[in-house]
Amino acid sequence: MAGGTSDWKEELGRWLQPFLDRLGHKARRQMCPLYVSGLIGPGDRKSIQPMARRLALGACDQLHHFIAAGVWDAGPLETELLVQADKLVGGDAVLVIDDTAIPKKGTHSVGVAPQYASALGKTANCQTLVSLTLARGELPVMLALRLFLPEGWASNQARLKRAGVPAEYRTARTKPEMALAEIDRAIAAGVRFGCVLADAGYGLSAPFRQGLTARKLAWAVGIPRHLKVYPADVQMIWPIAGRGRPRQRHIPDTLSIPAEDMLANARWRTISWRTGTKGKLKARFAAVRVRVADGPPQRIRDKGQQHLPGEEVWLIGEHRTSGEKKYYLATLPAKAELRTLAATIKARWICEQAHQQLKEELGLDHFEGRSWQGLHRHALMTMIAYAFLQYRRLKTAKREKKNQWAATSADTARRASGHPRTYRRATKAAVPALPKMDLQRAAA
């Protein structure tokens, strides 16, 4: 078993080389592989002190200095992570925007405040990280984790300074604004993806949706049921003035209505989008073309200020077997089939798996420091470790696929002479499903 551990650590050292080239300083080049291997290796706690003991470093000063106190720029490593992620899964991939919560006690850790924690399903004292996940099929790679600062932090400059928050982050920013900034960073690094996915926490934001469109990105996002939409064939007309001066602005010829009402008379179909551990996952879906009520606000008749029609998109409804109802908007082509729309919006689930593995297997939520710098460096190391593990999973899948094709070809050659038979092509090897990280078991 020791040989297996040595093998993966040597492979990790080779894979990390582009990251180490960007670190420069010799001491940092030594600490980075140690920290990442400490996250991957055995042990329940992935905070600095327990990892230092397992790595036989004696005191934890060196690891602590590398993560929390050392003066070095994490930007080059963050860029290299984007490059490596694109090599792994870029191209025919989706970019999933979400956030994940890290429960915390006390009030001094940067960004900690009572806020909704999706993992707990309730409001709790925690830190919230906005996340970007690049995924192709069932292979996700984390691109970014950036701390959201609640109002109680963003409005207190002294508190921000004590936590070491850089000056450029000391202004209040919404999660959608943070997500757009991280998307710009990914695009600048050359990350390739086809569609941006997000839940209703982001889809509710008109500036977020419009920002994606302005960047010429396709998107599919969740929305609340009450978000207003117009029929796709809405027309702008001149209102007839009953008295006074002629009206100076066009108005829509019909009023906007909630998304759930727009789909009330739609045709619903049962669609399965993938096979899960308990069989096919399916729900009832319906979709119609609409125009979102997110244009400029304008007074319309006696209805007061109303938003004018915006861009034309798909409105998609989902009725789950549990009775829960969900609604989405998507800018996929007007000729897209309902099955394609359903599969696209449901592809977002993969980021939840990534968040869970980052926490349970790599200790994303184990960092015990309080500073902005330490938290983000620790998160960066967990993402680098996760990318390496996905690199190994992908390599294993390719090797199994090659072996499978070789076996099929040999079998076909044996039967070809005088015994023509039909045969099924070997199914494409799926990426191995690893609910627990393989390297941790090997290293134990």
pLDDT tens string, the chain, 444 residues long: the values are: 344 566 888 999 999 999 999 998 888 899 999 999 999 998 889 988 889 888 877 667 888 889 998 889 999 999 999 999 999 999 999 999 999 999 998 899 999 999 987 767 789 999 999 999 999 988 999 999 999 999 999 999 999 999 999 999 999 999 999 999 999 999 999 999 999 999 999 999 999 999 999 999 999 999 999 999 999 999 988 776 666 555 567 788 889 999 999 999 999 999 998 887 788 889 999 999 999 999 988 877 667 778 899 999 999 999 998 999 999 999 999 999 999 999 999 999 999 999 999 999 999 999 999 999 999 999 999 999 999 999 999 988 877 766 665 555 555 445 444 444 333 333 333 444 443 445 554 444
User: Residues 325, 365: one domain?
Assistant: no
Residue 426 in any domain: the answer is: no
For residue 342 the two structure tokens come to: 């359903």
Question: Within a domain: residue 279?
Answer: yes
The whole-number pLDDT of residue 296 equals 87
**Beta-strand relationship, 195-198 and 94-103:** parallel
Residue 417 domain-assigned (yes or no): no
Range of the domain at 324: 224-335
Pairing label, strands 195-198, 218-223: parallel
Dist. CA 371–CA 354, nearest whole Å: 24
Do residues 73 and 186 share a domain? yes
- What's the pLDDT tens digit per position in 275-285? 877 888 899 99
pTM for the structure as a whole: 0.88
List the beta bridge partners of residue 123.
116
Q: Which of 268, 311, 306 is nearest to 288 (CA)?
A: 268
What ranges in 417-437 are assigned the alpha helix state H?
none
**Are 168 and 263 part of one and the same domain?**
no
Residues linked to residue 313 through DSSP beta bridges, in sequence order = 290
The answer to whether residue 214 is domain-embedded is no
Q: Residue for token digits 């470790």? A: 385
DSSP 146-205: EEE--HHHHT-HHHHHHTT--GGG-S---HHHHHHHHHHHHHHTT---SEEEE-HHHHT-
DSSP bridge pairs for 252: 236
For residue 219, being part of any structural domain is answered with no
pLDDT in tens, 387-438: 999 999 998 887 776 666 555 555 544 544 444 433 333 333 344 444 344 5
Whether 327 and 317 have beta carbons less than 8 Å apart is answered as yes
Would residue 33 count as lying in a domain? yes
Examine the domain organization and report whether 244 and 388 are in the same domain: no
Token pair for residue 306? 């109303």
Which of 335, 350, 378 is the C-terminal boundary of a domain? 335
**Where do we find the tokens 């798909």?**
314
Contact by Cβ (8 Å): 308, 293: yes
Beta strands 113-117 and 122-136: pairing type?
A: antiparallel
> Residue 402: what pLDDT?
63
Do 181 and 36 share a structural domain? yes
Based on the fold, state whether residues 58 and 143 are members of the same structural domain.
yes
Q: Quick one: which H or E segment has residue 10? A: helix 2-15
Q: How far apart are CA 193 and CA 86, in angstroms?
A: 9
Separation of alpha carbons 82 and 85, rounded Å: 5
Token duo for residue 73: 């720029």
Number of domains in the chain: 2
* Proportion of the chain above pLDDT 90, given as a percent: 66
Buried b (16+ CB within 10 A) or exposed e, 18-48: ebbebbeeeebbebbbbbbbbbbbebeebbb
Distances (CA, A) of 395 to 388, 390, 399: 11, 8, 6
Is 99 within a domain?
yes
Q: Are residues 301 and 388 in the same domain?
A: no
Taking the C-alpha atoms of residue 318 and residue 203, their distance in angstroms, rounded to an integer, is: 16
